[in-house]
């Protein structure tokens, strides 16, 4: 696992281990899941190149929580943020992508999505080491 899909996959796996079986690394059709939690990867910023050639840096991600009821969306988003804040990130991944740390932001109200569902976001930054195979 590497690149954008790698970090998103790590967060999805963490969410599922926390009991959020509706977590996905890509947007899904409503017939797959009506109220998904979708992890979207953002930019990567390299901090350094290690002596062994590995790259250390940070990946920005956003966890979008979609629910039909606005108060449920907020409550689930707060559960997601609290759960992710307690994850042992070093234990969640291995080679070639190793997550060193996770910085979980406060939930942010996004509004209604195109589907009409309420969306709340949890921003997070993962510090990762990507080894070259």
Quick: pLDDT tens for 65-92: 999 999 999 999 999 999 999 999 988 7
Does residue 3 register a pLDDT over 80? no
Distance between CA atoms of residues 98 and 104, nearest Å: 17
Please tell me the pTM assigned to this model.
0.90
First to last CA, the chain: 11
With beta carbons less than 8 A apart as the criterion, state whether 80 and 65 touch.
yes
With beta carbons less than 8 A apart as the criterion, state whether 73 and 67 touch.
yes
Distance between CA atoms of residues 128 and 110, nearest Å: 27
Q: What does the block give as tokens for 31?
A: 């017939």
DSSP calls for 19-88: T-TTEESS---TTT-SS-EEEEEEEEEEEEE-TTS-EEEEEEEEEEEEESSHHHHHHHHHHHHHHHHT--
pLDDT in tens, 8-57: 999 999 999 999 999 999 999 888 999 999 999 999 888 888 777 788 99
């Amino acid at each position: 696992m590497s690149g954008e899909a790698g970090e998103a996959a790590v967060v999805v796996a963490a969410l599922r281990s926390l009991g959020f079986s509706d977590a996905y690394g890509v947007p899904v059709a409503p017939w797959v899941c009506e109220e998904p939690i979708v992890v979207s990867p953002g930019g990567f910023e390299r901090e350094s190149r290690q002596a062994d050639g590995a790259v250390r840096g940070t990946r920005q991600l956003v966890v979008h929580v979609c629910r039909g009821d606005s108060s449920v969306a907020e409550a689930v988003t707060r559960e997601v943020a609290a759960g992710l804040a307690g994850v042992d990130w070093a234990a969640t991944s291995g080679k070639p992508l190793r997550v060193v740390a996770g910085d979980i932001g406060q939930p942010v109200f996004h509004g209604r999505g195109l589907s009409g569902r309420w969306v709340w976001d949890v921003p997070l930054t993962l510090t990762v080491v990507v080894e070259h195979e």
